[in-house]
Amino acid sequence: MANDPVVGQSTDPDTAGVLGEGGTGVYGRNTLGKGNGVIGYSGEGRGVWGHSTTGHGVLGESVDGRGVAGSSGTSYGIRGHSRTAAGIRGTSDEWRGVEGEARGAGDGVLGTSSSGYGIHGIGGKRAGYFEGNVEVIGELSVTIDVKITGGLDCAEEFNVSEAAPVEPGTVMVLGEEEILLPSHQAYDKRVAGVISGAGNYKPGIVLGTLESKQHRLPVALLGKVFCKVDAQFGAIAVGDLLTTSSTLGHAMRADDPMKAFGAVIGKALRPLKEGQGLIPILIALQ
């Protein structure tokens, strides 16, 4: 009868409790509630085992729930294997083809390969998308272009003296043992750059991010950065060369070409007629 259950049991791990052959070996359907169409239990063998020569070994379909659900205490919830095709393939009409979630400290998705790509993404909009920090251990190879949309300068972390507070926009010079100090004298040829991150300019690339007991900060070496300037030594116009000043951590207009050689920080991108302020500059150490 259509409503009669089918129960199969076997004490031999090599013998099936229920064996189905034909177009569909075993077909289970539940339309009465939250029950299962097919459920399989096993002590040591396979709870459900499906085999097919050319079709699906196991096919699961659901209107609102999971097509196939697997769970395990210590091993794989679902495992797929194939000799020549994908071990597991997921497709979706309106959502993710495959989704992985780790509720503890494990990986949401882990891909490994002995000779190919651990994870291979091919996309129409993007091949990959990440929200959050990305860590790469090894070589990062880029065939075409690298586009950085969120930052405006290339910076490198340096050890910074903790003798005085240093904030973004401060002009820095080389000190003893490669420790940077805020500039404090005019036309200082030890100028190294400007502490990155002032205003709304953030570093696009940060080099030398090493773990250290020393206080380290990113110093802009290339690109655009907000810089502290002092116009009391001369009004600053767009395009003026800037050098270190006697005001702690501030740049000024470079009026003496001979003294400025080797002490230029960059070019002003905005004017400052008087007083002290924070203006964007184009880093061009020379």
Q: Return d(Cα 196, Cα 160) in angstroms, integer.
A: 13
Hey, what domains does the chain have and what are their CATH numbers? 1-104 (no CATH), 153-283 (2.40.300.10)
Distances in Å between the alpha carbon of 66 and those of 74, 184, 198?
21, 68, 50
Q: Which of 97, 25, 91 shows the shortest CA–CA distance to 57?
A: 25
Residues 6+ apart with CB under 8 A from 174: 180, 181, 190, 191, 192
Pair of tokens at residue 75: 């091993």
The least confident of 138-147, 211-220, 231-240 is 138-147
Residues 6+ apart with CB under 8 A from 78: 68, 70, 88
Q: How confident is the model over 104-130, as pLDDT tens digits? A: 888 888 888 888 888 888 877 887 888
Asked whether the whole model's pTM tops 0.75, one would answer no
Q: How confident is the model over 18-66, as pLDDT tens digits? A: 666 656 666 676 666 666 666 776 666 667 777 777 777 777 777 777 7
Q: Return d(Cα 147, Cα 280) in angstroms, integer.
A: 22
The amino acid occupying position 247 is: T
